[in-house]
């Protein structure tokens, strides 16, 4: 899809299924949730670019694992993370909270807190791109949502509701390539859903040609993501429990 190129945002697959997002503007790079450092350093140096900032959505090791090494390589890098995570993301030097707006490489990003996966998970939203963009970490995946480790089901349901109110053409950059198994699960829940069936075929084709299945769009997810489509907390909780127990 061409929107990925238009926005100058590239996904770097690392570890088993993590995707590190790299946004390039002129000679500067912003990296989102660097699980590990080496492929990021290699990618940036090969293109003769500089690391300007790191966005951290939450404290899990597969999101911050590479940050210290990147700081060693680029000591002036801005590390932007939730002010409520100063202990678990100790290297942050710009601390943000829900509703803050930050200016990064002349684009505005709004911080939207999305509690559920952790109790201080944040996302980075910007309207200053061709399409609005959202770096959502482990809160929403294509066809699924994050496991609820620290928050409550109610908090996660509210977080997803907040996301669903963003402009429908928002491009969603999530941190894991889970799309295929999410859709396989969704088809067990809704076996006759033709939109999910179609999407699964499309996703399998992409995987077979070694392409990422993300980013996704809010519009697409409103059609195929059962968690986003859940009408109330009860329905959401039912789905989350089903998914947690799915092989």
Kindly report the backbone phi and psi dihedral angles of residue 17, in degrees, each rounded to the nearest multiple of 5, phi listed first.
Answer: -150, 15
Minimum CB separation of residue 80 from Zn ion in Å reads 17
Question: Are 173 and 135 spatial neighbours (Cβ–Cβ below 8 Å)?
Answer: yes
60 contributes a contact to Zn ion by CB under 5 A: yes
Question: Residue 143: left if φ>0, alpha if ψ -120 to 50, beta else—which one?
Answer: left
Give whichever of 113 and 138 is closer to Zn ion, judged by the CB atom: 138
Site string for Zn ion, 150-189 (x = CB under 5 A): ----------------------------------------
Site string for Zn ion, 92-131 (x = CB under 5 A): ----------------------------------------
Minimum CB separation of residue 17 from Zn ion in Å reads 12
Task: State which of residues 138, 193, 220, 221 lies at the interface with Zn ion (CB under 5 A).
Answer: 138
Stretch that binds Zn ion, among 21-29, 34-42, 58-66, 179-187 (CB under 5 A): 58-66
Question: Are 32 and 20 spatial neighbours (Cβ–Cβ below 8 Å)?
Answer: yes
Q: Write the DSSP assignment of 40-91 as a string of letters.
A: HHHHHHHTT-EEEEEE-----HHHHTTHHHHHHHSTT-EEEEEGGGTTTSTT
Minimum CB separation of residue 61 from Zn ion in Å reads 9
Measured between alpha carbons, how far is 188 from 183 in angstroms, rounded to an integer?
9
Minimum CB separation of residue 60 from Zn ion in Å reads 4
Minimum CB separation of residue 58 from Zn ion in Å reads 6
Give whichever of 60 and 110 is closer to Zn ion, judged by the CB atom: 60
Question: Are 222 and 160 spatial neighbours (Cβ–Cβ below 8 Å)?
Answer: no
Minimum CB separation of residue 117 from Zn ion in Å reads 6
85 contributes a contact to Zn ion by CB under 5 A: no
- 110 forms beta bridges with 101, 125
Tokens of 96: 């943000």
**Where on the chain is the footprint of Zn ion (CB under 5 A)?**
60, 138
């Amino acid at each position: 899809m061409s929107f990925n190129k238009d926005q100058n945002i590239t996904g770097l697959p690392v570890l088993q299924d993590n995707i590190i997002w790299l946004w390039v503007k002129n000679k500067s790079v912003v990296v989102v949730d660097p699980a590990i450092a080496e492929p990021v350093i290699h990618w940036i140096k090969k293109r003769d670019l500089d690391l300007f900032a790191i966005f951290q959505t939450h404290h899990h090791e597969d999101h911050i694992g590479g940050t210290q090494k990147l700081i060693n390589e680029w000591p002036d890098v801005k590390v932007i993370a939730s002010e409520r995570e100063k202990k678990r993301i100790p290297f942050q030097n710009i601390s943000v909270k829900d509703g803050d707006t930050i200016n990064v490489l002349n684009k505005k990003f709004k911080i939207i807190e999305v509690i559920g996966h952790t109790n201080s998970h944040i996302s980075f939203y910007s309207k200053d791109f061709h399409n609005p963009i959202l770096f959502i970490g482990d809160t929403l995946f294509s066809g699924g949502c994050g496991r609820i480790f620290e928050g409550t089901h109610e908090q996660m349901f509210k977080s997803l509701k907040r996301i669903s109110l963003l402009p429908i053409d928002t491009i969603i950059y999530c941190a894991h390539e889970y799309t295929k198994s999410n859709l396989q699960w969704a088809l067990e829940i809704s076996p006759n859903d033709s939109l999910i069936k179609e999407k699964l075929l499309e996703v399998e084709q992409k995987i077979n040609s070694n392409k990422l299945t993300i980013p996704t769009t809010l519009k697409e997810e409103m059609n195929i993501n059962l968690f986003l489509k859940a009408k109330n907390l009860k329905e959401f909780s039912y789905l989350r429990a089903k998914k947690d127990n799915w092989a």
